[in-house]
Structure 1
Amino acid sequence: MTMKHIIAIAIAAIFLLSSCENYLAMKPDKALAVPNGLSDMQALLDATRFLNESRPAAHMIASDNLYIEDADWNALYDVTSKNAYTWQRDVFNDFDTNDWTNTYAALLHTNVIIDGIGRVDRTLVNGMEWDAVKGGALFHRAMAFYELAQLFAKPYDASAAETDLGVVLRLEPAIDQPSVRASLQQTYQQIVGDLKGAVPLLPIHTEYVTRPSKLAALGLLARTYLVMGEYGQALEYANEFLGLNSELMDFNTKDVSLANPIEQFNEEVVYHSTAFGWPGLSYPSAKVDTLLYRSYADNDLRKTLFFEPHASDDIEFRGSYNGARGLFTGIATDELYLIRAECRARLGQWKEAMEDLNELLEKRYIEGSFIDFDAADAEEALNIVLQERRKELIFRGLRWTDLRRLNNDPRFAVEIMRTVNGQAYRLSPDNGGYIFPIPLKVIESSGIPQNK
């Protein structure tokens, strides 16, 4: 069978995946669906449409980085965008393509590869290629479970993780297994386990940043442990990442006259992915929160490189690391500086935290104008780092997770308020709206518990 046929079969299977239960209900012929060689498996991993270009986006429109004016709301045809923006209980309505189904499609993709590579002998000749394929599939699976957990499971709380519901853990391409939601602890254990399995297999750098690397796996490990509140572990992996790669862009070299001044695949990007394109995330519907925009100093180059003010006083975001209006959701070096700075501040290493932050920000301000940030103690350092984290990582798909994890601390808890056509909507820190409902079709066909 040719590679063309193999890819066609795998893609057809993914398009049929309209819910998690369909994954279970299908019974493909493995002789046809599973690629037979490492080059075939790598080709499936390089199918960027499924693994790199359809990352979840509902949380991006639900977070507090943007607002939609009434006129744009009334003209917006995308019901899913409207549902996410106002935190409705049935966000995904009856649409078959959504953040749940797209992500489980990616999981099917990776599990086909993980299952298939178990039947390929690793030899001295093919060892590097074998490692890269398996490591890449493990990384993609971990990323999928991580993203599902940020939308469809509670924020991680070590004291309740054994009993809180996580997501359905799909670990093989078999489709005849019952649907069961794992615990939140099991979910995060799977994420961490896959990533730790990927790290020794992957090369430090890859030819294409759409392919996972050791740096990408280390970065996602640091991010995951940060979300779990395991700051010592997050610091360890951030240190390992930055020990291998600490390169930052100097924003003074960027051309502010360009429509998209931050280029795609720039030197900070170690893993490239983008969010699924929702109409509600695009200008003119989506406008940058005014107070957030005003929080950037005038000599902060991010204020001009990230945003485009319009005559109507609307602010459009243009600073995606995608090099275009599509929103970057991958892993980049600047995030690891901020993870390390936050962990150091939380662990009492506040002077080192400020050193990390200043090393990053010096590259963001007009040359010669930056004055180092200083803090009197760890708490002040943490406040400064979290403020700069929001400003640096805007529209990366990280804000929703930050809101969730920081809401556990009264110092940083945020209530989001919106008014649409005179109707007020409110999302309080203890509101169940910080967990997205699983699509109703999945609940009806699988019988798994719905989020409350």
Structure 2
Amino acid sequence: MKCKFTVFIPFVLLFATVLSSCNDYLDVVPKGRKIPKTLADFEALMRDEYTNQRFPIAQATLLLNDYYERQENLNYSQLSRINYMWEEGTSRINFNNTSEGTYYTGYAAISTFNLLVQYVPTATEATEQQRKTLVAQAKLARAMHYFVLVNYYADTYEAANAGSKLSVPLIESADISAPHKQVTIQEMYDYILLNITEALPDLPADGATVVHATVAAAHAFRARVYLQMGNYPEALQAADMALAENDQLFDWTAYYESYKDLIEQPGLYPSLPSPKGYDYVENYIFGHGEVAFASSENDVRVDRAGRFEPGDASFAARWKLRTLGNETYYQSITAGRYNQGGITTAEVYLIKAECLARNNDLTGAMQALNAVRAKRILPQSYTALSAANTRDAINLIRRTKENEMLFTIVAFADMRRFNKDPQYARTLTKKADNVTLSLKPESHLWTMPFPLGAINNPGNGTIKQNVNQ
């Protein structure tokens, strides 16, 4: 990443307020404040990683049981406990003000990108192409946030009913009092795709930083969206176009060998440098996860660790089994940055693999899958996989992808997508206090309730709750 700095959100709110006020006040700048005018002023907002490049999805990750949650945290947050312990009989709606980050972080970022789309065309000290590029990057970033919101707060996409089910509010203006509408799932996906289509002609091959969208990032994101919609031909085409721009894969087996002595030393829990940060060779675009500038990954449950393939170097290099008191889990042993909100080549390889499998090209599907696995599975454990049929192929692809996309919205979105297909629907099970718990594919827990703050204060529009409890 060439350069990076943070701009605080009051800067954005000030600008939105001033520009939505009477023109007489446009030249009145509060003391100590600055209204952006130049391209550099606006471009600083794109670099505001804490506000605009963060994709928190805590409750989705808790529902998946993809990380180890300590008992004291469950005692503190009833909403977290309901999701983590799959308590279907307890309504989450009244507890949802304890976890509003996904909603408000997403819409704060969308407000910033709406602002850029609206006002960058008049930015000074810039060429016309520079203005177009920043607007295009804002449109792609806006679409990425809407993808998270629609896959978190609305039902998963199904062509048969997407036009009749509500999704999330669609807000296209940065003006504080602008009206908005809660659109259908189909309308939201159409809007996401429209943003990608409009952005592509003006995106560069290389971004100023790894949070600035490129042509490759747009194709990769388009592949993700079309896969979620079940449009496999379009997803495959987009995946191929993204991989034509960047098809590099990080060699986790070599990374493991470099730190093998530290990793395998009994009783030692090192802080190895995370390779998944700004300079990760797999990055198309970078985004933070639950915590901006996180210094380590979440710990992993023992039963969740069992779903990694034997000999997976990426797992062995990132987590190590630990027991403290009566708690046993896999502790994170890397430190640095983690691209949990962006898009990587590994995801796109696996999108391609699934699309080929759906088209019954089993050889091509396994080639794409094995390209990723060859960089993950230690040589002594690696065997190239083959599949006898589409279902076997997809199950193999799915295993790798679930682990690659751990702690991202994709892991949650994929699980919901597969749950709508009887061939691939899966009931999750676990033991807690010697009691077997389960989460069925049809559970209402798979859709998160809107925060009460959003329901009670919808602004210039209305919001209908998408779940009953």
Q: TM-score range with shorter-chain normalisation?
A: 0.7 to 0.9
Q: TM-score, normalised by structure 1?
A: 0.85
In 2, are the aligned partners of 1:318 and 1:324 still within 8 Å (CA)? no
Percent same amino acid at aligned positions?
24
- 1-structure distance, mates of 2:313, 2:94: 36
User: Which position in structure 1 is the counterpart of 2:314?
Assistant: 302
Q: 1:326 to 1:97 in 2, by over 3 A?
A: farther
Deviations 1:51-75 (A, max 9, x none): 1135333212221323446x4456x
Return the letter of the residue paired with 1:135: A
- 2-structure distance, mates of 1:276, 1:299: 28
Structure 1 unpaired stretches of 5+: 15-22
- 1-structure distance, mates of 2:22, 2:439: 46
Local SS of the residue matching 2:142: helix
**How far off is 1:434 after superposition?**
1.1
Local SS of the residue matching 2:172: coil
**How far off is 1:297 after superposition?**
4.3
- Alignment of structure 1 residues 82-231 onto 2, 5 Å: 82-86=81-85, 88-90=91-93, 93-95=96-98, 97-120=100-123, 126-231=127-232
In 1, are the aligned partners of 2:79 and 2:95 still within 8 Å (CA)? yes
Match of 1:443 among 455, 461, 465: 455
**How far off is 1:424 after superposition?**
7.5
User: Which position in structure 2 is the counterpart of 1:358?
Assistant: 370
- 2-structure distance, mates of 1:171, 1:178: 9
Deviations 1:146-200 (A, max 9, x none): 1100111110010111111021111111233444210111100010110121222
Local SS of the residue matching 1:410: coil
Q: 1:325 to 1:407 in 2, by over 3 A?
A: same
User: Which position in structure 2 is the counterpart of 1:18?
Assistant: none
Moved more, 187-196 or 370-379: 370-379
Deviations 1:105-163 (A, max 9, x none): 11111111111023359x9x714422321111001110111110011111001011111
- 1-structure distance, mates of 2:178, 2:157: 26
**How far off is 1:211 after superposition?**
1.8
**How far off is 1:44 after superposition?**
1.2
Local SS of the residue matching 1:167: strand
Q: 1:9 to 1:301 in 2, by over 3 A?
A: closer
Deviations 1:180-231 (A, max 9, x none): 2101111000101101212221112224212222222111111111111111
User: Which position in structure 1 is the counterpart of 2:283?
Assistant: 269
In 2, are the aligned partners of 1:202 and 1:214 still within 8 Å (CA)? yes
Local SS of the residue matching 1:436: coil
- 1-structure distance, mates of 2:253, 2:69: 32
User: Which position in structure 2 is the counterpart of 1:19?
Assistant: none
User: Which position in structure 2 is the counterpart of 1:333?
Assistant: 345
Match of 1:380 among 381, 387, 392: 392
- 2-structure distance, mates of 1:295, 1:95: 30
- 1-structure distance, mates of 2:103, 2:429: 26
User: Which position in structure 2 is the counterpart of 1:314?
Assistant: 328
- 2-structure distance, mates of 1:108, 1:163: 26
Matched, 1:347 2:347: no
User: Which position in structure 2 is the counterpart of 1:20?
Assistant: none
- 1-structure distance, mates of 2:22, 2:56: 28
- 2-structure distance, mates of 1:368, 1:229: 36
**How far off is 1:243 after superposition?**
0.9
In 2, are the aligned partners of 1:35 and 1:116 still within 8 Å (CA)? no
Match of 1:395 among 407, 417, 420: 407
User: Which position in structure 2 is the counterpart of 1:17?
Assistant: none
Q: TM-score, normalised by structure 2?
A: 0.82
User: Which position in structure 1 is the counterpart of 2:243?
Assistant: 242
Q: 1:200 to 1:27 in 2, by over 3 A?
A: closer
User: Which position in structure 1 is the counterpart of 2:76?
Assistant: 77
Match of 1:289 among 301, 308, 311: 301
Return the letter of the residue paired with 2:464: P
Q: 1:419 to 1:325 in 2, by over 3 A?
A: farther
- 2-structure distance, mates of 1:120, 1:143: 24
- 1-structure distance, mates of 2:99, 2:379: 49
- 1-structure distance, mates of 2:463, 2:381: 56
- 2-structure distance, mates of 1:319, 1:374: 33
Structure 2 unpaired stretches of 5+: 263-269
Deviations 1:25-74 (A, max 9, x none): x95568479732221111111111111135333212221323446x4456
Moved more, 94-103 or 386-395: 94-103
Local SS of the residue matching 1:398: helix
- Alignment of structure 1 residues 425-436 onto 2, 5 Å: 426-436=438-448
Q: Number of residue pairs matched?
A: 429
Q: 1:96 to 1:333 in 2, by over 3 A?
A: closer
Deviations 1:329-359 (A, max 9, x none): 2111111100100111011111100011111
Deviations 1:287-328 (A, max 9, x none): 5233332343443312312322114583335388xx537672
